[in-house]
Amino acid sequence: MKQLTKQDSKLANLIKKEQQRQREQLQLIPSENYVSKAVLQAVGSVLMNKYSEGYVQKRYYQGNVNIDKIEALVKKRALKLFGLDEEKWGVNVQPPTGSVANLAVYTALIKPGDKMMGMFLYDGGHLSHGWQLPDGKKVSFTSQIYKPCYYYVDISKGVFDYEQVEKQAKKEKPQIIISGGTAYPREINYKKMGQIAKKVGAYYMADIAHEAGLVAAGVNSSPFKYADIVTMTTRKTLRGPIGAMIFSRKKYAEAIDRAVFPGLQGGPLNHSIAGIGVALKEAMQSSFKVYARQVVANAKTLAKLLQKMGYNISSGGTDKHLLLIDLRSKNMTGKQSALALEQANIIVNKNTVPGDTGKPWNPSGIRLGTPALTSRGMKEKQMEEIAGFINHVLEHQTDKKEISRAAKQVKAFAKQFPVPGLDS
């Protein structure tokens, strides 16, 4: 960062501090990861200088000869990675975030005032699936435009009872049903969800923002056979830059494209799209399958170890990269626990758990994930040490001396593992 340091030392120093933080702390936010140096180089490239409103060979500005080739290549790779036939599926790689991708799908397929049905947020659902608070406050813009309704987990088990989901769908008669969540630790039965949507005449959108990398690697099941639309973010388990993709059955592809541009945005983030392309190529390598398998093995190990230490793991475990600790039985709060862990260099987020009576800003759980730790080369053995750190900090969360001792230990532990993009 020589040039940046010379020209703007203030910002350069802040970036260096963030590099240091990413090295010295344990990143357990399930939606975060470390991109490779190659991805960083693509994202930090001159592609961001180019305006390219429109699509491949249908641009509103001249000078897109290279951008066209890049976007076409990324689309090809995206379809190939998920084993999709170009004749049957379209893909849009332009949305800047998962929330915008989801909004584009609704814009394309349903009308303002139509009903959308998603996973209840306190049970793991996402804001962009029509979230409004139980008191009716419309938190997400999607709930202002559309009429939201939800399906719920069976609170005693922390998992979906698909008969109940079907009953709810028949009662609500939504125009679109959405599966996927931000804090649901189990695999979703895409076949069942697709059947339910069909029965009530709704579109079925599977949002695999979290699991995209696991699905690509074949470690989690794939929704493509059953869904009309599949959306995903690219920065989580897929280990790409910030961005999103919308896969749609061919008959919807044109409407989706129109909804993204000109419906919701102007020029796409070409640098990010190129970074996605690099990540897609990485995800095609056999080493990515090994990585994805390890992500899940690490999460399962962490869940088991914490369970043995007396923690209540929502749904009793995990099928993927994330787990939820329900802290109610420990008389701890999510907020205080997450803060104490941060002081000890362990980064998690507070989260609601099924049946939570706490509010999202002071919920009863914490959410942990293994994608970033696994990208640093950590395996089951390291999960044992990390479970020990977490337990120690949670049990001593009001003891400043113990927390600062743990912070030093965690920092020394974390620094042993190279950070992709920085050290390797």
Residues near ligand PLP, by CB under 6 A: 31, 97-99, 102, 126, 128, 180-182, 207, 209-210, 233, 244
15 φ/ψ angles, rounded to the nearest 5 degrees: -65, -40
SS3 (DSSP) at 46: helix
Q: In this complex, which beta carbon is closest to ligand PLP, that of residue 59 or of residue 236?
A: 236
- Closest approach of Cβ 266 to ligand PLP, in Å? 18
Kindly state the tokens that stand for 220.
Answer: 């989690």
Q: In this complex, which beta carbon is closest to ligand PLP, that of residue 177 or of residue 393?
A: 177
Write the CA distances from 124 to 110, 179, 355, 418, integer angstroms: 24, 11, 11, 32
- Closest approach of Cβ 280 to ligand PLP, in Å? 17
Q: In this complex, which beta carbon is closest to ligand PLP, that of residue 240 or of residue 407?
A: 240
**Region for residue 302 given its phi and psi (left: phi exceeds 0; alpha: psi -120 to 50; beta: otherwise):** alpha
Kindly state the tokens that stand for 116.
Answer: 């959308």
- Closest approach of Cβ 240 to ligand PLP, in Å? 12
- Closest approach of Cβ 259 to ligand PLP, in Å? 16
Q: Contact, 174 vs 193, CB < 8 A?
A: no
- Closest approach of Cβ 31 to ligand PLP, in Å? 5
Q: In this complex, which beta carbon is closest to ligand PLP, that of residue 150 or of residue 311?
A: 150
- Closest approach of Cβ 109 to ligand PLP, in Å? 17
Q: What share of the chain is helix, strand, coil (3-state, %, to 5)?
A: 50, 15, 35
Cα 320 to Cα 349: distance, rounded to the nearest angstrom: 17
Kindly state the tokens that stand for 52.
Answer: 């390219």
Q: In this complex, which beta carbon is closest to ligand PLP, that of residue 230 or of residue 244?
A: 244
Q: Contact, 246 vs 99, CB < 8 A?
A: no
**Amino acid identity for residue 353 in this structure:** V
CB closest to ligand PLP, residue no: 98
* C-alpha torsion angle, residues 39, 41, 44, 48 (rounded to 10): -80
- Closest approach of Cβ 182 to ligand PLP, in Å? 3
Q: In this complex, which beta carbon is closest to ligand PLP, that of residue 217 or of residue 244?
A: 244
Q: Contact, 146 vs 280, CB < 8 A?
A: no
Q: In this complex, which beta carbon is closest to ligand PLP, that of residue 182 or of residue 222?
A: 182
**Amino acid identity for residue 195 in this structure:** Q
SS3 (DSSP) at 29: coil
SS3 (DSSP) at 404: helix
Q: In this complex, which beta carbon is closest to ligand PLP, that of residue 237 or of residue 397?
A: 237
Query: How many other β-carbons are positioned within 10 Å of the β-carbon of residue 92?
Result: 26
Contacts of 396 (CB under 8 A, 6+ apart): 402, 403, 406
Q: In this complex, which beta carbon is closest to ligand PLP, that of residue 182 or of residue 315?
A: 182
Q: In this complex, which beta carbon is closest to ligand PLP, that of residue 233 or of residue 352?
A: 233
- Closest approach of Cβ 98 to ligand PLP, in Å? 3
- Closest approach of Cβ 150 to ligand PLP, in Å? 14
- Closest approach of Cβ 94 to ligand PLP, in Å? 13
For 152-179, the DSSP string reads: -EETTTTEE-HHHHHHHHHHH--SEEEE
